[in-house]
Amino acid sequence: MTVVCPWERLIPNRGVAALLPGDVQVAVFRTSDDHVYALSNIDPFSRAAVLSRGIVGDRAGIPVAVSPIYKNAFDLRTGICVDDPTVSVPVFPVRVDGGMVLVEEQ
């Protein structure tokens, strides 16, 4: 597991980018109900590392991050694109321990 940041530094409904070993970029999100999620930071449609800068919300009760480029929404739980379920991004196990956010490398 890689320590990303202290829990209190995560702002609800915002994302942060982190670099894991092997130059793997992840986007870590804290939702308004204090759940924490980690997805690949790479938008599969634009190939840009921007998902951490996306809008966090929900679609029909599904927690999502919406890419700032083409506005595709990704389920924070599964990484599946809500707008095109044939496309997805990797999800990473994430947890909070001792006040620190940790993401597991894959």
Please state the three-class secondary structure of the chain as a single string. CEEEEEHHHCCCCEEEEEEECCCEEEEEEECCCCCEEEEECECCCCCCECHHHCEEEEECCEEEEECCCCCCEEECCCCEECCCCCCECCECCEEEECCEEEECCC
Of all residues in the chain, what percent carry a pLDDT higher than 90? Answer: 98
Of all residues in the chain, what percent carry a pLDDT higher than 70? Answer: 100
CATH superfamily of 2-103: Rieske [2Fe-2S] iron-sulphur domain (2.102.10.10)
pLDDT value for 106? 80
pTM: 0.95
Mean pLDDT of 78-104: 97
